[in-house]
Amino acid sequence: MISLEQIRSLFGDILEAVANLRAQKLRTLLTAMGIVFGVGSVIGMLSIGAGAREESLQFIEQLGVRNILIDSRPASDDQELQQRRRISPGLTERDVRILEANIDTIEAVSPRRGFNPGRVLPKPNGPNPTVIGVRANFEQIHALRLVEGRFVSPGDDKRTEAVCVLGQTAKVNMVGYGAAVDTYVKLNDVWLRVVGVLAEQVTESGSGPGQTQDRNNTIFIPFNTSMYRFWDLTRSRRDELDGVDMRLKDKADSTEIARVVTAILQSTHRGADDFSVTIPAALLAQQKRTQTIFTYVMVAIAAISLLVGGIGIMNIVLATVLERTREIGVRRAIGARRNDIVRQFLIESMLISAAGGLLGVGVGLGLAWLISNAAGWKTIVTTASVVVAFSVSVMIGVLFGIYPAMKASEIDPIEALRYE
């Protein structure tokens, strides 16, 4: 139990430490700068890691952790295409029917066929959108959300209706910010009626499996409409389908089913190796591991600044001990114990590191904001990152203040009084 006298003594030591540090404001500030930049770097790096991790995980989860994505591999040249076609027709609707007939754990499946239109009206305020033909259950497979209207229906697909659903970017670039349902867009020579608009989707930089670089700059049309109303001249080296997306029933083992899918397609394609199978669930686990390692590496690099700051504190406190040798002798002469001397210098080093930690939190928040706005990266500052960075800075002050404090307590009082 701490007595009232001990509390008063501790409070007096804190006030004295504050007075000593204020007497040397510039030196105290420069000493704390290592901690400031160290804490700021740790918070900044953690915010970048947390932001990148959330975006990546959202993107993979958006693909569907119960999904299996099959993508065709376009031939690089005519010679490779001819070699493939001797043994395999490529990814076709026949593959879809075979998979549905042989795998009873499939809940929904949709072929996917995309192309880039040469002419678009209204002319987009940006790059032309990508058009993708899909079945109605593509909405269920990828858990798509709509902000207007509906998705393509089985009836639209059966009748090869001239309808479409706009991604958020495609809608804004072509129609503007008003209502888009029942307006018309023209792709190549075909007018399509807009029946729905998708909500904003998370976009991964670069191309993902079966995805466009900007998932929001996409127009979805019924699959049969893409087959019979549009002719894509760029498909000369491509398969009939760009991919097949399937959603498995609850509790199905996606990894095991992916092996079955691969085996079936290898058999029907006679080992042509003209397709790839992606399991978002496996990508999710791998991404979590990668992001964890990435975060550890970044924090370790940023922590070097904290280490340098701790060394700076130890160096300055050692110099302070030398400057205040006579003061230490006087305190020892009037009854101060070694523990009192240790506590005095330890409190000063802790105050330096705590003040640096608080300033560093501000620097870290500013750094995260600057990175988010200047570089366009998503950053997330978590309470845990702030608490950890600040706590480590205080621990640095304790650890690197112990040695100078012990050196101060070991000074002989008589010799100290003679010190000039």
Q: Which tens digits make up the pLDDT trace of 215-255?
A: 899 999 999 999 999 876 556 667 889 999 998 888 888 88
- DSSP letter for 233, please: G
Residue 209 pLDDT greater than 70, yes or no:
no
pLDDT band at residue 172, thresholds of 50, 70 and 90? very high
pLDDT band at residue 212, thresholds of 50, 70 and 90? very low
- The sign one gets for the Cα dihedral 165, 169, 170, 172 is positive
Residue 207 pLDDT greater than 60, yes or no:
no
Residue 62 pLDDT greater than 60, yes or no:
no
Written as six digits, the tokens of 47 are: 């915010």
Q: Which tens digits make up the pLDDT trace of 350-363?
A: 888 888 889 989 99
Q: Which tens digits make up the pLDDT trace of 256-299?
A: 888 999 999 999 998 888 899 988 766 666 666 776 777 777 77
Contacts of 314 (CB under 8 A, 6+ apart): 349, 400, 401, 403, 404
pLDDT band at residue 205, thresholds of 50, 70 and 90? very low
β-strands 130-134, 106-115: how paired? antiparallel
Give the rounded percent of residues in the chain with a pLDDT score beyond 70.
87
For the entire predicted model, the pTM comes to 0.60
- DSSP letter for 160, please: T
pLDDT band at residue 186, thresholds of 50, 70 and 90? very high
- The sign one gets for the Cα dihedral 191, 194, 198, 199 is positive
What is residue 151's predicted lDDT score, i.e. its pLDDT? 96
Peptide bond into 280 cis (omega under 30): no
What is residue 235's predicted lDDT score, i.e. its pLDDT? 62
Rounded Cα gap, residues 382 and 46, in angstroms: 8
Written as six digits, the tokens of 220 are: 């979805």
Task: Give 195 or 315, the one with higher predicted confidence.
Answer: 195
pLDDT band at residue 310, thresholds of 50, 70 and 90? confident
